[in-house]
């Protein structure tokens, strides 16, 4: 069954409404492909516990399946974010999808004359196993941190300073936790990050950094694929 309403609202914004029967996430992605859409905007409910572990949420399923960027908006966004976005946070892991996220974050920051923070989280590791006991972990971490700092800078176009106000930051900790901490500390209005196409079993058992941020963030999260 399909219901379809179309109207034009000032200033010349075309609005259409559809009602489909089927699996919500699947139908949303199909509609985005059919239009074709440049962006999906969807609210989140913040579901937790057993239901979320076994089934996930419609929003997270859309994030995993969509080939176009998805803007997830949590219930608390109205209290913690403002428009136009003034503080944008972009976490990166140097994958192709996170590099695409940087490109989009730069565009968003430029459009809204916003501050942009590009963040990389260096996750902590336990003690080195016996087989690698001669491996100098502290030295490796120092070298990796410096490499990450340089790599973040290299991701910024030469004219970035003329377009927006970017800063780069490298921190240590659990990735999703540090991303959420940074968003709270900076008063982020928007988080822009890449999403990996991980398999359903992996996501069900362990989740992903992107899923955890989408699930727990109090501001909108824009997810993009590489």
Residue 115, pLDDT > 80, answer yes
> What is the CATH number for 88?
3.40.50.12370
Classify residue 37 as exposed, middle or buried by CB count within 10 Å of its CB (0-12, 13-18, 19+). Answer: middle
Q: How many CB atoms lie within 10 A of CB 17?
A: 9
Note the pTM of the prediction, 2 decimals: 0.83
Shared domain for 31 and 47, answered yes or no, is no
Instruction: Please write the tens of the pLDDT for every residue from 78-94.
Output: 667 778 899 999 999 99
Number of domains within the chain:
2
Shared domain for 10 and 79, answered yes or no, is no
pLDDT band of residue 64 (cuts 50, 70, 90) is confident
Position with higher pLDDT, 15 vs 114: 114
**CA angle, corner 36, sides to 30 and 38, nearest 5?**
110
Instruction: Please write the tens of the pLDDT for every residue from 133-152.
Output: 556 778 888 899 999 999 99
pLDDT band of residue 128 (cuts 50, 70, 90) is very low
DSSP H helices, 76-122, are 77-80, 96-112
Across the range 204-217, mean pLDDT stands at 77
101, 192 Cβ separation under 8 angstroms: yes
CA nearest to 160, candidates 170, 171, 168: 168
Residue 126, pLDDT > 80, answer no
Residue 129, pLDDT > 70, answer no
Shared domain for 17 and 94, answered yes or no, is no
Domain containing 199 equals 38-224
């Amino acid at each position: 069954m399909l219901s379809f309403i179309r109207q034009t609202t000032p200033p010349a914004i075309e609005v259409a409404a559809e009602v489909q029967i089927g699996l919500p996430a699947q139908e949303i992605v199909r509609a985005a492909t059919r239009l074709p859409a440049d962006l999906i905007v969807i609210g989140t409910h913040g579901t937790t516990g057993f239901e979320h572990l076994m089934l996930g949420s419609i929003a997270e399923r859309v994030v995993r399946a969509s080939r176009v960027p998805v803007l997830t908006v949590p219930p608390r966004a109205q209290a913690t974010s403002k428009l136009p976005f003034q503080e944008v946070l972009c976490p990166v892991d140097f994958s192709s999808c996170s590099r695409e996220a940087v490109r989009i974050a730069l565009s968003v920051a430029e459009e809204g004359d916003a501050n942009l923070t590009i963040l990389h989280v260096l996750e902590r590791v336990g003690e080195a196993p016996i087989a690698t006991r001669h491996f100098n972990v502290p030295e490796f971490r120092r070298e990796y941190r410096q490499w990450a700092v340089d790599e973040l800078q290299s991701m910024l176009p030469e004219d970035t300073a003329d377009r927006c106000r970017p800063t780069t930051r490298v921190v240590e900790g659990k990735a999703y936790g540090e991303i959420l901490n940074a968003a709270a500390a900076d008063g982020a209005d928007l988080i822009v990050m890449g999403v990996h196409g991980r398999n359903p079993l992996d996501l069900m058992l362990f989740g992903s950094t992107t899923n955890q941020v989408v699930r727990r963030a109090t501001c909108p999260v824009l997810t993009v694929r590489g």
